[in-house]
Amino acid sequence: MKRVKDLPEFSRPREKLKQKGAQSLSDVELIAVILGRGQEGLEVMTIASKIARLISKDKENISIDKLTTVEGIGLAKASQIIAGFELARRHILKDSIRITGPESVLPLISSIADKQQEHFVCISLNGANEVIENRTVTVGLLNKSQVHPREVFADAITDRAAGVILAHNHPSGELKPSDSDLKIHEQLVEAGKILGIKVLDHIIISKKGYYSFQEKGLIH
């Protein structure tokens, strides 16, 4: 695994968090940010990857004792992770969110409605239409964001998602999809079909409201 300092600056976890927000980071990257650094002979991303696997396998029973079995993790770093879990449990985590239509998606994307740059979001869902992750994939300039299927589906594949809901904002306030929006949407739907990940909806949001591709009959 590459060392953080060998990654392009825009791909480093802290810089990525600053530019795109915490929701754009993978579990490994988030853990790397919490840890801050590795130790001699052990890169932080390597340690973070081991911790991510441990959490994925036994997140209900994660403890300081279990975390300190990972090479490079002592009491201090294990305590940082456990404290982060507890803070999230108290103030952030809610019951599983099940998507039943555009109205249940809007609270998840309301934060981008008034952004001055275009943000493209991918929400990955399991087979019961419950939210797995909600990530910002790209941040564009003014009202233009270049989106590639590879970027959109990379994390959804890791999530083993059954479906995704796509969303982006229009800083201009216009809700109607542009020709570019329609073209990108078609590309992503086709890519999803190949990967076996269904695009369930694509929502455009602005301060004026929202536009749902599913409601308008553009999802097949």
State whether 110 and 204 are in the same domain: yes
Q: How far apart are CA 172 and CA 195, in angstroms?
A: 33
Query: Residues 19, 86: one domain?
Result: yes
3-class DSSP state of 1: coil
pLDDT of residue 142: 47
End-to-end C-alpha distance for the chain, whole angstroms: 40
Q: Kindly list the distances between the CA atom of residue 74 and the CA atoms of 12, 48, 88, in Å, as whole numbers in the listed order.
A: 24, 13, 22
Question: Residues 190, 136: one domain?
Answer: yes
Give the pLDDT of residue 13.
Answer: 85
Which structural domain, as residue segments, surrounds residue 13? 4-91
Among residues 116, 124, 134, which one has the least CA distance to residue 21? 134
pLDDT at 23: 80
What is residue 2's predicted lDDT score, i.e. its pLDDT?
A: 58
- Single residue among 42, 61, 91 that ends a domain in this structure: 91
SS3 label, residue 174: coil
Number of C-beta neighbours around residue 166 at 10 A: 24
Structural domain tally of the chain? 2
Return the ∠ at Cα 93 (arms to 68 and 195), rounded to 5°.
Answer: 85
Contact between residue 205 and residue 110 where contact means Cβ atoms under 8 Å apart: yes
- The length of the chain in residues reads 220
pLDDT at 96: 73
Rounded CA-CA distance 156/103 in Å is 22
Q: What was the pLDDT predicted at 3?
A: 67
**Maximum Cα–Cα distance across the chain:** 56
Per run of 10 residues, the mean pLDDT along the chain (length 220 residues) is: 64 84 87 88 90 84 91 93 84 74 94 91 94 90 70 93 96 92 94 96 96 92
Last-in-domain residue among 91, 124, 157: 91
- 77 and 118 inside one domain: no
Residues 157 and 58 in one domain: no
Among candidates 122, 169, 171, 130, which has minimal Cα distance to 149?
122
